[in-house]
Each structure stands twice: as structure tokens, then as C-alpha cells.
Chain A
Amino acid sequence: MTTNPLTPEILFHLGPVPVSAAVATTWLLMSAMTLTAGAIMRRPRIAPGRAQAALEIVVEAIARQAEEILGRDPWPFMPLLGTLFLFIASANLSAAVPGLAPPTGHLETPAALALIVFFSVHWHGVRARGWRAYLRRYAEPTALMLPLNLLGEITRTFSLMIRLFGNMMSHEFVVAILLSLAGFLLPTPFMALGVLIGLVQAYIFAVLAAVYIGAGLGVVET
């Protein structure tokens, strides 16, 4: 009997709640990220060490990118945008660790992230512009555009999810097929390529989220 590789692999149950491998890997990544950031930034110094400097460079790079897209102070949006990039990047890169499958290679994780981005866009948009002004933008330039705009909201969230899921899932399949056909060493270049793909996909997901939020704020045209 063959199993559907896209079906979540349930590791155990917490009461009625099934815990899949993606969730377990996510907990592992969350723990690693929390412990690493907490250890490095527990006593931040004005003259930073190498680890603190590296972490500051990463965070500042994300903030600078977000500021260029949003055109305003990026720090209110950094928890969402920064965590999107760091989590997706670490989840994608976890594919390089033997025994781990990237959570983004299963549909539920990109869907969860896309839904969070979807609601965050509206939350930031309503906070910045108010209900009326925010909703009025769906009827612009004419009321005839309302269905198309609503459809666009759904499809762009769907594309956000599918893009990440498709890239990571296909990469997983390619590596698995090569591994089964050609042995142990041949997939190595593809796994290195997977590192690049994982970082690029994290960057694309975070940048598109920033663009969508910017559109909700009225500072970016989509």
C-alpha cells in the first residue's frame, strides 16, 4: 500500500490533538531560535561580540528592507515580518538536517502563515486608516472593481501559500527521487541548491507580506 506523501505524518496525540512531524519540527525550531536569541541578547552590549553583531546585522537588514518597502518606521512591523523571514528560512534550511523534514514542505504551515499575513494586512490597514477608508479601497477606482478586488485578496493569499509550499515540496521530492535513484552523494548539490531556494523563498514570502501590508496601509500600490 502506498501512502500519500502530502499527508501529514502524525507522530503522537496530545489528547484529541494530533501532533504532526511538521508541528514537532516547528517546536524544535522555535526552541532553537528562542534559546539562541535569548542567549545572545540576554545581556546586549553596546560594543557587541561576534554573535550579537551577526544577529543585529540580520535584524537590521530585515528592518531596512521593510523600511524601504513601507516607507515608514519598520519596527512596529518587525515582529511579524522578521519572524516570517527567520522562521521560514530556518524551516526551509531544516531540510539540510538529516532526519528532519521542512515544515514548509507540507501545506498546513504555508497556509497558516498565509492566513496570518492575510489577517495582519487587514488589522494593520484598519488600524492605520479606519474601517470606512480601508473598506472603501476595495471599491476603487469604481464599485465594479469590488468583486475583482475581493477575489484578488483571496488569490494573492492563496498564491503566497502555494508558492512556498510548491517550491519546498517539489524540492523535497526531487531530492528524495535523486536519493532513491542515484545514491548518497549525487543529491548533495541539489541540497546546496535547496539552501539557496529556502533563503530566497523566505525572502520572497516576507517581502510580499510587507508589500501586502504596505498596500493595506495605503503606502504601496499592488
Chain B
Amino acid sequence: MTIDWWTLGLQAANFLVLVWVLTRVLYRPVRQVIAERQARVNAALDAARAREAAAEEARRRHERALAEFEERKRALAAQAEAELEALRAQRIAKAEAEAEAIREAARRAAQETRARAIDAARADIAALAATLAGRVLQSFGAACGADDAPAQIAAFERALAQMEPAERAALASPGADAALVTARALDEDARAAWREALGRLVGAPPRLTFRVDPALLGGFVLTMGGAELRLAWADFLSEARARLARSMDDAP
């Protein structure tokens, strides 16, 4: 077996030439395009990562803003609650002060009204007392305060004069028994004077009995012929009390 050295050398040279040529027309362009493609992929990945980072940053900003908003909302709500509470307390205090003022004014007005009513009642009472005193004095005369028989008899005769005829006739029935009640015991002259006065009324002296009732205070009560004539101080005082009570009820 022989070797053709020319062929061997030429093939070696051919291969080296092929290496040189393919380096330029194949390997280098392929490597460049792969590197460029990889660079673009890396750039796209970097851009995607950058966008992801930006999105993450935006999400964090949004969450921070949301948290700040929530915090501000809570602070505002607390502030509004505090202001509302203060306003409510202020208004309650003001209302209580106004109510107290109204109550005080009402109490003062009531006191003034009561004082005026009391004053008016006192005035009425005074007037009534004066009227009653006047009537007592008018009924029993100036001597009525002494409560003596002549004054009582004079009052009896004035009462008779003011009576209706039917009443006077019922009192002056002849033969009837009579009873005279006084606040103090009458002496014999007084009793004689009463017998004489009643005799003048019925034409003959009646059978007259005398009793003493201190509760009458003054004046007398004459019972005769089924009729009764009361001119006792106690009755006048009772009437005065009743009038006074009515005037008190009518007072505002």
C-alpha cells in the first residue's frame, strides 16, 4: 500500500482552507446571529423584569397609598367623633343650662305668683275680716261687743223687723214655749227684759227657759213656736270661715 504524498498534502491544505472558509461563512455568522438572538431574548427578559419590578413598585405604592388613606380615614373619623362628642356635650350643657334657667324662671314666677296670690288672699282676708267685723258690728250694734241683754234685744227686734211676715208669725205663735241660749248666764234683769220683749211679740209673756252655751261666743239663739232665730257670734264666724275658704279656693 502506497501513500500519495501530494494527495495527502493537498487534502490537508484543502481541509485547512475549508476550515478558514467555513469560519467566515458559517460559524461566525451563526454565532453572531445566536448571540444577537440571545441578546434580544435577554433584553426582552430584562425589559420584562423591569416591567415586573415597576409593576411591583406600583403595587407597593398603591398599597402604601391605600394604607395611608385608611389611616387618614380613621384619623378623620376619630376627629369627627371627638368633635361630635364635644359638640354634643356642649349642646347638652347648654340645654341643661337653658332648662335650669327655665326652671329657675318658672320657680321664680311661681314664687312670685304665689306671693301675689298670698298677698291677694291676705288682702281679701283682711277685706273679708273687715266686712265681717262691719257686719257683726252692724248686726249687734256698737254695744254688741259687750254682749249685754239690751243690745241682744235690740238685735232681736231688728231681726224681727227684717223677717218675712210668715216667718215672724211662726216665731210669734201664742202660748208657745220659748228657749233662749246665750254664751253667758243672764242676770235677772236681763231675763226680765227678754220676757218683756217676747211678751210684746206674742201679746203675753211666754214660758221662757234660759240656757248657757259658751260655744256661741256671743249673741243668742232663740227657739220659739217651732222656729229658731240664730244671732250667735259663732255662726257668723263659721260663715266667715266658709267665705274665707271659698275665697282661698278662688284665688289663682
Taking beta carbons and an 8 Å cutoff, which residues of A are in contact with B?
4, 6-8, 17-20, 22-23, 26-27, 30, 33-34, 37-38, 41, 44-46, 48, 52, 55-56, 59-60, 75, 78-80, 82-83, 86-87, 103, 106-109, 111-113, 115-116
Closest to B24 in A: A38
Residues of B within 8 A of A27 (CB): 14
Q: Are B26 and A6 in contact (CB under 8 A)?
A: no
Q: Could you list some 9 contacts between A and B, CB below 8 A?
A: A17-B6, A37-B22, A56-B33, A79-B23, A82-B22, A83-B22, A87-B15, A108-B8, A113-B15
Q: Are B34 and A34 in contact (CB under 8 A)?
A: no
Q: Which of A19, A48, A79 contacts B27 (CB 8 A)?
A: A79
Min CB gap A208→B, angstroms:
16
A18-B6, A37-B25 are known contacts. Are A112 and B12 too (CB-CB below 8 A)?
yes
Min CB gap A91→B, angstroms:
10
Interface string of B1-28 (1 = CB under 8 A from A): 1111111111110111111111101110
Residues of B within 8 A of A116 (CB): 12, 15-16
Given contacts A17-B6, A30-B18, A83-B18, 15 further A-B contacts (CB under 8 A): A6-B1, A6-B2, A7-B4, A34-B25, A38-B25, A41-B29, A44-B32, A46-B37, A55-B26, A56-B34, A59-B27, A108-B11, A112-B11, A113-B12, A115-B12
Q: Are A45 and B33 in contact (CB under 8 A)?
A: yes
10 nearest A-B residue pairs (beta carbon): A112-B12, A112-B11, A108-B7, A44-B33, A41-B29, A37-B26, A108-B8, A38-B25, A79-B23, A8-B4
- Contact size class for B? 20 to 34
Closest to A86 in B: B22
Complex Cα–Cα for A20 and B17 (A): 18
Residues of A within 8 A of B11 (CB): 22-23, 26, 103, 108-109, 112-113
Min CB gap B3→A, angstroms:
6
Complex Cα–Cα for A86 and B15 (A): 11
Closest to A44 in B: B33
Complex Cα–Cα for A4 and B15 (A): 26
Q: Are A75 and B14 in contact (CB under 8 A)?
A: no
B31 is an interface residue with CB less than 8 A from chain A: yes
Residues of B within 8 A of A41 (CB): 25-26, 29-30, 33
Min CB gap B74→A, angstroms:
56
Q: Are B10 and A7 in contact (CB under 8 A)?
A: no
Q: Which residues in window 35-76 of B have CB below 8 A to A?
A: 36-37, 40
Determine chain A's interface SS by DSSP, over half rule.
helix
Min CB gap A92→B, angstroms:
14
Residues of A within 8 A of B1 (CB): 4, 6, 107
Q: Are B33 and A46 in contact (CB under 8 A)?
A: yes
Q: Are B4 and A108 in contact (CB under 8 A)?
A: yes
Q: Are B4 and A75 in contact (CB under 8 A)?
A: no
Q: Are A30 and B21 in contact (CB under 8 A)?
A: yes
Q: Are A8 and B18 in contact (CB under 8 A)?
A: no
Q: Are A19 and B15 in contact (CB under 8 A)?
A: no
Q: Are B26 and A108 in contact (CB under 8 A)?
A: no
A30-B14, A41-B25, A108-B3 are known contacts. Are A48 and B19 too (CB-CB below 8 A)?
no
Q: Are A46 and B22 in contact (CB under 8 A)?
A: no
Complex Cα–Cα for A97 and B224 (A): 185
Min CB gap B37→A, angstroms:
5
Complex Cα–Cα for A55 and B26 (A): 9
A7-B2, A113-B15 are known contacts. Are A46 and B40 too (CB-CB below 8 A)?
yes
Residues of A within 8 A of B31 (CB): 75, 78
Indicate the member of A56, A78, A79 with the most B CB atoms within 10 Å: A79
Q: Are A59 and B30 in contact (CB under 8 A)?
A: yes
A8-B4, A20-B7, A111-B3 are known contacts. Are A79 and B34 too (CB-CB below 8 A)?
no
Residues of A within 8 A of B26 (CB): 37, 41, 55, 59, 82
Closest to A22 in B: B7
Q: Which of A22, A56, A86 contacts B30 (CB 8 A)?
A: A56
Residues of A within 8 A of B22 (CB): 33-34, 37, 79, 82-83, 86
